[in-house]
Amino acid sequence: MQIYEDLGVVPVINAAGYQTLIGGSRVGPEVQTAMDAANRYFADMEDLLKKTGAIIADLLGTEAALVTPGCAAALALGSAACMSGNDPAKMEQLPDTTGVKHRILIQKKQRYHYDRVLTIFGAKLVEVGDENGTTAAQLEAAISDETAAIHYFAPGGQDGVLSAQDVIRIAHANGVPVIVDAASQVYPLEVMRRYPDMGADLIGYGAKYIGACHSTGILCGRADLIDAAYLHSFIGYETCPYDTLGRPLKVDRQEVIAVVVALRAWFSADHQARLASYKREAESLLADLADIPHIATAFATDERSLSNGVQITVDEAALGKTAVQIIEELKRGNPSVWVRGSENAFRVAVTNLVEDDREIVASRLRDVLTN
C-alpha cells in the first residue's frame, strides 16, 4: 500500500467487481511479465498493431481487429469508420457531417449512459420506438440515406427490444452496418464469439474483463471498416497523409501486447477452476459472517462471472443502518473497501480479491455490521 500512501492516496480493496472508478481490473502475472518484457524494446507501432490485430481477429473469428484505449474508444472509432468509410475527404471533414451519412439508429429502450461515445466524431444518435419497445417495421422505416449504422447494446433481452439477430438482418437487408457494444460479454467463451458469428459488422470489447489493462479495448469486425477505424486512430494519424481525428486515442506497446497475451490466456484458461476458486472464496466469507445478526447472506453469481461473491441483505430497521450507510462506512476505512449495492442489499465480489484481501474485508464487514 506504500506506493499509494506516499502519494496521499488511500488504497482500495476491490470487492465491487470491474469498476472504472477504482481502476477497473488487475493484470495477471503472465500479462505483467509480458508487459515488463515489452518495455525493454521499442516497436514499430504500425507493425505491432497490424500483427496483433490479425492474431486477435483469428481468436475472435472476425476479419480484422484493432487494440484501442478501452471499449469506449473502440465504439467511437467504429462510429467514425461507419460515417467515412475509406473516403479520405470524409475522414478529414469529420466532425463536420454535412453531406455525410451520420445518423446512428438506437432502440429507445436501449439508450444507456455510454452511448454518447458514438457521437464523439460527429454522429447523431436517433431513437427508434418508444418506452414500450421497438418493432422491426419501425426500425426498417427509420433507415434513410443519412443512416451510417445501427447500434446494439449487448446482450439485449429486454421486453420489446429487437434481438441482435433481428437488428443485423434488418440492417444488412438495407445495406447498413451494425455496431455492437459487447464490452463485458466475455464469458462463457461462446458468448464472446456470438456477435461475430451473427455477422455484426463491428464489435467492441473491454479488455479489462479478460485480464488486460483497464485502459484497453478491442474493436473487431469487417476488414474494410477496421481499416477505416485504423486510419482514424492515433497510428493512422501518424502514418497516413490524412488529418483524421483519433490522435488522442493512443495506446502503448505494452498495452497492446497485454491484450494479446490476456486474450490467448482467456481462451486457454480452465474457467471451471476459476469459477470454483470464486466459490471457495465466497464460502469462506459466508462462514466469516455466519453469526452476525440482522443480515441474510447467500452465494451470488452473474452470467459473466464478473462479480461472483456474497450477497448481503440487511434488516435495516433491526440493524439500525441502511445498506447505503454500510457501503459508505466500508469506503471510509484504510484500506478503503468498495462494494456495490442498491436498496437494502449489497454484493461483496470476490473476483478481484488477492492475498489477504478476504480476511480484511471480512474483518471490516464485521466491524461495520456489529458496531
Instruction: Return d(Cα 370, Cα 363) in angstroms, integer.
Output: 11
Predicted pLDDT at 303: 85
Domain ranges within the chain, ordered by starting residue: 2-22+270-370, 42-268
218 phi/psi in degrees, rounded to 5: -130, 130
Residue type, 95: P
Report pLDDT for 138. Answer: 98
> To which residue does cell 452496418 refer?
177
Largest Cα–Cα distance of the chain, in whole Å? 68
pLDDT at 215 over 90: yes
Instruction: Quick: pLDDT tens for 281-324.
Output: 999 999 999 999 999 999 999 888 899 999 999 999 999 999 99
The Cα 241–Cα 220 span in angstroms is 24
Mean predicted confidence (pLDDT) in 214-227 = 98
Single out the residue of 52, 75, 25 nearest to residue 253, CA to CA.
52
CA atoms within 13 Å, Cβ hemisphere of 356: 5
- β-strands 124-128, 103-107: how paired? parallel
Tell me the fold of 42-268: Aspartate Aminotransferase; domain 2 (3.40.640)
CA nearest neighbour of 299 among 270, 266, 276: 276
Mean pLDDT to the nearest integer, 220-240 = 97
Residue with cell 521499442: 42
Residue type, 44: D
Q: Is the pLDDT of residue 342 over 90?
A: no
Torsion sign over Cα 163, 118, 246, 23: negative
Confidence of residue 229 (pLDDT cuts 50, 70, 90): very high
CATH code of the domain occupying 2-22+270-370:
3.90.1150.180
Higher pLDDT, 24 or 45: 45
| Lookup: cell for 213 | 489493462
Q: Report yes or no on whether pTM surpasses 0.75.
A: yes
Q: List CB contacts of 173: < 8 A, sequence separation 6 or more.
A: 140
Handedness of CA 222, 228, 234, 238 (dihedral sign): positive
β strands within 154-280, DSSP E: 178-181, 202-206, 217-221
Q: What is the pLDDT of residue 224?
A: 98
Share of the chain above pLDDT 90, in %: 96
Q: Name the burial class of residue 42, with classes exposed (0-12), middle (13-18) and buried (19+) by CB atoms within 10 angstroms of its CB.
A: exposed
- pLDDT tens digit string along 111-160? 999 999 999 999 999 999 999 999 999 999 999 999 999 999 999 999 99
CB 209 within 8 A of CB 180: no
Q: According to the model, what pLDDT value does residue 244 have?
A: 95
pLDDT at 302: 87
SS3 41: coil
